[in-house]
A and B are shown apart, each in its own frame.
Chain A
């Protein structure tokens, strides 16, 4: 079974700074997808960024980028120029290709300080 570990329960940074959230996973699969989801206080789950395991190039979406290290099974999220609206829980998630099940980590609560 796949497991996803987020070792930072809480983090806080000053507005406009850069922050990196860590995620490691354990799998014997070779074809899979990785995701970061954001859950603000509104409770809505919002997809931030996604990565296909067979693509070596790291995914980027505006201020959000990932550092995907397949051999190390690491998938960290970097948020540049952090904004107050980035305050949320962030979940790392894994999905094996060919299987619909999304396995989540325990989340990191990120607070952006004005």
Chain B
């Protein structure tokens, strides 16, 4: 039973294309996140949703648009892909908003390569 699942695991696409990454969690968590891990392995938050409501929106180009149809799903759509968007994108979830003791449960990541 996968707790946080992301699809696809690998994505290779050309510059200028539009692509989506899907994320689903079956943990019953209220909050979901997107993080970006760059080529130097640095992890940085992009977005956070709590019960379908956008909570955190870091400085991310507006080509990136998250969508949460329900609290178990958080998808990431990227328009007009650029070379610099190449990275690993992690979805994560957590149980209690504002009570972060248990940390996050992460998906296995999506490696996006823009050529």
Contact = CB atoms under 8 A, between A and B. Distances in A.
> Are A and B subunits of one complex?
yes
A98 interface: yes
Contacts of A91: 43
Interface residues on A, range: 20 to 34
Interface of A: 33, 35, 37, 39, 42-47, 50, 52, 89, 91, 93, 95-104, 106-107
Contact of B56 (A42, A45, A101): A101
5 contacts: A46-B106, A50-B102, A100-B31, A102-B100, A106-B42
B101 to A, nearest CB: 6
| Chain B interface, >50% SS class | strand
A107 B43 CA distance: 9
Interface residues of B, number: 29
A35 B103 contact: yes
B68 interface: no
B97 A45 contact: no
Contact of B103 (A50, A89, A96, A99): A50
Given A44-B108, A100-B33, A33 B103 contact: yes
